[in-house]
Amino acid sequence: MTPLDALRERVLTANCDLVRHGLVLFTWGNASAVDRDAGVMVIKPSGVDYQHLRPEHLVAIRLADGAVIPAAAGQATLAPSSDTPTHLELYRAWPSIGGIVHTHSEYATSVAQAGLPIPALGTTHADYFAGDIPCTRPLTAQEIEDGYEVSTGAVIIERFAADRLDPLSIPGALISQHAPFAWGATVEKAVYHAVVMERLARMLVHTRTLAPTAISVPRYLLDKHYQRKHGPAAYYGQKRP
């Protein structure tokens, strides 16, 4: 199996995991992964039902110029996801990430449609995100006209730059009036973060229903929970020999 074939297999599994975790309906989402050494991204084809996906359907794209790499002889080259330009923008801006997931999961999308962030209200949030999950500003009419999907990536990058956020410490964002994106060092971690973000959004709705004035967890408690899993002296889980 070639490295590209292996990457296609991983991206196929990631896309199917979105269905397994209940994050997508019909064709409402996509996952991608990148091979930095080869300069190639692999992403779900546009509008293809998940139950019909096969490894050879996954579309390979050059990071440098966004050109589709033709499929092997005897295989059809499918059109890539319409969100491909967004994925490319994020990969180009953040060399540390290796996988991206976009869904329209119910609760995270509801919060995005409200134009709100997901604040860190408790330690469950702090275990995976080192602060609030931001919501971008709405796109302008001109940005949508000039290049909707590119602009979607640009407003995520803009928000992270303005707030000096580390994309690996805050591995996701909400697009105002749209839906969530999540990412990680690998596509498997991107799926994991998408699942966590959906659950955090659900917990936010429930918490604010019970206590509309609930405030964010204190920074010292947030840092403790995040660092014990992800910091240089992390002690959660088992030590590998």
Residue 236 known to be catalytic: yes
Residue 91 known to be catalytic: no
- The whole-angstrom separation of Cα 51 and Cα 49 is 6
- The whole-angstrom separation of Cα 15 and Cα 191 is 8
The sign of the torsion formed by the CA atoms of 21, 23, 26, 30 equals negative
Catalytic residue among 35, 127, 148, 223, which? Answer: 127
Contacts of 93 (CB under 8 A, 6+ apart): 153, 157
Cβ count near 52 (within 10 Å): 8
39 and 59 Cβ atoms separated by less than 8 Å: no
Return the active site residues.
127, 236
